[in-house]
Structure 1
């Protein structure tokens, strides 16, 4: 942990940005807009894209339906079953947290389905990414954590919400060794569903489900633990950002990427996507809309959330389902719904539940999976993402195609994938490459996905404020993992 001595003064960029941000937020503005870019700008011609037309859209819909994992006998989440990875389940939600922290898209109303002169829906790639804006800085700077209110009693601290007491007669108990401050700060009850007990934060996506929300709470509490060690707000923010960057580069990436690709990027830097200066940094759509859309594949259908709620369907852990709609339910998350992190991370002798393998199978209800997969597949078309084969050839790799692509897929997906044997949507290709039994077999990403993810996150860390990759930077830590974050946050419960 940082000591209070020699606290770094905020950089000029941080000082000016903090003042402008405070004034803008007081005036009701949202965070400043940044842009998107293409990692492979030379792969935008028709030869590198999916063919357009109603036939392709119908084929994509069939492919999306085939991505639903066939129903199997439900097993307790802590018991290893077919399709489980070795990765602890919490990393599914760290991936989702990082993606939400990097990308918050703002765009004009989608006109892609406006009827053409024949009355058929028109769906074509965006001619330019100029109208697509990112409300995040696009760097690993914990925008999602610090775009939130501070504790009015101690303004150096981030505001953490207080859980509600359990209802009278409830058979459930609070988890041991946890305090009342374990919820996101919330707005009061309201007749407006958009504000009724919603989290007090700029972007409420991290309040979509309990696991992701509790991870966000852990970041808030970790900041406050750094404050308790004697740091100023600026020093604690800097320290937490650097720990976050370390966690992403040295804890998360080794679990997602092929070792050879990651080692090369970390030793030599990116060779496909070069960013010379922070002003030129933008979010590559190949990363944000394809290569890093991994949480849907990693998510389990059921979870042991804590000792009270075991083998829960993922949908029942939606925050709105737990709080209740229409003003019903508690004012905040009940104390019985505080997460037990040892069920998701190796914090005790008992093995935690695991994430699912990286492949083209998505666990969950069929209709929900189909809708989610359709969204991501059509989004790739809308953004004009190159096919997986085009990217592989650009990298000098032999792409999966025809029989080699089909052999990488489960039997029931092969018919739906036939129209895409030569030109495969990039998101689906990256998942197929990861799940290839002759390759990573779901343990990590394949060569295309590994290179995109490693190079993108290296660049995004390198151009962050107080970057641990900056020349001459000597971080005040030698190790920091997701377990360390949870343990640091737990110091607030002990206090």
Structure 2
């Protein structure tokens, strides 16, 4: 089958008329942008989007979860943490077309952990201990809340008198795992800061802060590149990008976050979150909307809310696995309890994602697959699967498949690339999704002169004698931090 008449791929002379709009022009500093500026946007009727994303529809995973064989559940929350480090869109809307070049990204398009460090001790001193003590980041030890014991405070974030977390990004308190992960990074920094303060006493607090921040950030980058991306995108694609260069994420002026990444490909984690998960090695699993897991933005009041990281990350092989990366979401995510609207479309995370994609004029998944160079037979395989899944539900995708849904279906039926011809369905992103995610994250590192990929590609982790580093190492180190 030729590309020109492939399902979802439409021939056009020159640029589609919509592509002449500012929305499809070169990226602007501090704004979002596009990877595929020359691809026409897909339009899917709102009823089809509703039927695709509704509860009991084709994206409903049902009550029997299916788990990966190789991806720790904690990696999905780490992916959320990464997202909060590089994107924060506070102005876009479902109810109108959104121009990425006019949408401010209130996070820097850099993996600089500004969600942890904020603006630093000079700009945001309320997040840090005093200069005389050393610029440690504050934790819940400073809370002194009447309804929180000292033992619970040390496992919590620093909070205001009203319980609001005093952190670089408020979203990192929106559920218990991400809140505890934020605390782990704070503790990791504090442990590194203490080591440098002891080993290099001649350094000023400012110099100690700068060295500790760089050390923490570079080890974070190492984990993204050597643990997170291989687990979700596959080593083959990561190695190909590092060895042969990025082909699609090539900013004209400034690093930016493409909407194909933020609105589609990087939302893969929504399919991998289990409806029930354990926070401790012993005990029962809890619903993602239970008091233990937390509905967000609240202090720890129960020891059961303190996470034991061995259950979420690979310490000894006995970790919880993420759910398979496929075209379905846990039923609880299709009927969000905290959304007050009576409209089922508003309460379904799947429908919200699909509506958001349409509002940003994203291309079809088929068009993106052709642009990336995927073979027609592979695209046909994904499309046949999509047709089988959606046809009983009155979903009309004859014009093409929404990019997010195509990427999920591709992950389910093709899967993570292990070699040029070997794939593991459901274990990670397929070729289109993996290419978008890996190129953007690697590109952000390569284009940042403060990252190790952008300044010293020979660097290896300094906190380990093995010259490598993992989330297990980071979380273990965080437990050695002084209590501030």
Shift of 1:51: 2.5
The yes-or-no answer on 1:459 pairing with 2:443 is yes
The yes-or-no answer on 1:492 pairing with 2:481 is yes
Match of 1:229, SS state, is helix
Match of 1:316, SS state, is coil
Partner of 2:239: 263
Do 2:279 and 2:311's aligned partners in 1 also have CA atoms closer than 8 Å? yes
The yes-or-no answer on 1:304 pairing with 2:281 is no
Match of 1:34, SS state, is coil
The yes-or-no answer on 1:338 pairing with 2:306 is yes
What do residues 44-78 of structure 1 show as CA deviations (whole Å, max 9, x unaligned)? x3xxx2226xxx11100110012121123xxxxxx
Quote the Cα distance in structure 2 between the aligned partners of 1:406 and 1:89: 29
The yes-or-no answer on 1:151 pairing with 2:126 is no
Query: Could you tell me which of 320, 333, 339 is aligned with 1:353?
Result: 320
Quote the Cα distance in structure 2 between the aligned partners of 1:410 and 1:89: 30
Partner of 1:135: 106
Length-normalised TM-score, structure 1: 0.76
Match of 1:368, SS state, is coil
Quote the Cα distance in structure 2 between the aligned partners of 1:457 and 1:61: 31
Quote the Cα distance in structure 1 between the aligned partners of 2:403 and 2:67: 22
Quote the Cα distance in structure 2 between the aligned partners of 1:472 and 1:307: 39
Shift of 1:41: 0.8
Match of 2:274, SS state, is coil
Map 1:37-436 → 2, pairs under 5 A: 37-43=33-39, 45=40, 49-51=41-43, 56-65=45-54, 66=57, 67-72=59-64, 82-107=66-91, 110=93, 113=95, 123=96, 125-126=97-98, 128-147=99-118, 149-152=127-130, 154-162=133-141, 181-189=154-162, 197-231=163-197, 232-275=208-251, 280-306=254-280, 310-317=284-291, 321=295, 332-348=300-316, 351-365=318-332, 366-368=334-336, 371-398=348-375, 404-405=381-382, 407-408=384-385, 413-416=390-393, 418-420=395-397, 422-436=399-413
Shift of 1:151: 2.1
Quote the Cα distance in structure 2 between the aligned partners of 1:317 and 1:179: 16
What do residues 269-313 of structure 1 show as CA deviations (whole Å, max 9, x unaligned)? 20122236xx51111111111111122111111111125752100
Q: Where in structure 1 are there 5+ consecutive unaligned residues?
A: 1-32, 73-80, 114-122, 190-196, 325-330
Quote the Cα distance in structure 1 between the aligned partners of 2:153 and 2:364: 49
Q: Tell me whether 454-463 or 405-414 shows the greater mean CA deviation.
A: 405-414
Quote the Cα distance in structure 1 between the aligned partners of 2:287 and 2:409: 26
Shift of 1:418: 4.8
Length-normalised TM-score, structure 2: 0.77
Match of 2:71, SS state, is strand
Quote the Cα distance in structure 2 between the aligned partners of 1:181 and 1:410: 52
Match of 1:86, SS state, is strand
Quote the Cα distance in structure 2 between the aligned partners of 1:180 and 1:89: 26
Shift of 1:491: 1.2
Partner of 2:121: none
Residues matched between the structures, number: 413
Q: 1:409 to 1:312 in 2, by over 3 A?
A: farther
Query: Could you tell me which of 31, 34, 40 is aligned with 1:35?
Result: 31
Quote the Cα distance in structure 1 between the aligned partners of 2:161 and 2:145: 16
Q: Where in structure 2 are there 5+ consecutive unaligned residues?
A: 1-28, 119-123, 198-207, 338-346, 416-422, 462-466
Shift of 1:339: 0.7
The yes-or-no answer on 1:469 pairing with 2:453 is yes
Quote the Cα distance in structure 2 between the aligned partners of 1:249 and 1:412: 34
Q: 1:383 to 1:323 in 2, by over 3 A?
A: closer
Shift of 1:470: 2.4
Quote the Cα distance in structure 1 between the aligned partners of 2:272 and 2:471: 17
Shift of 1:107: 2.3
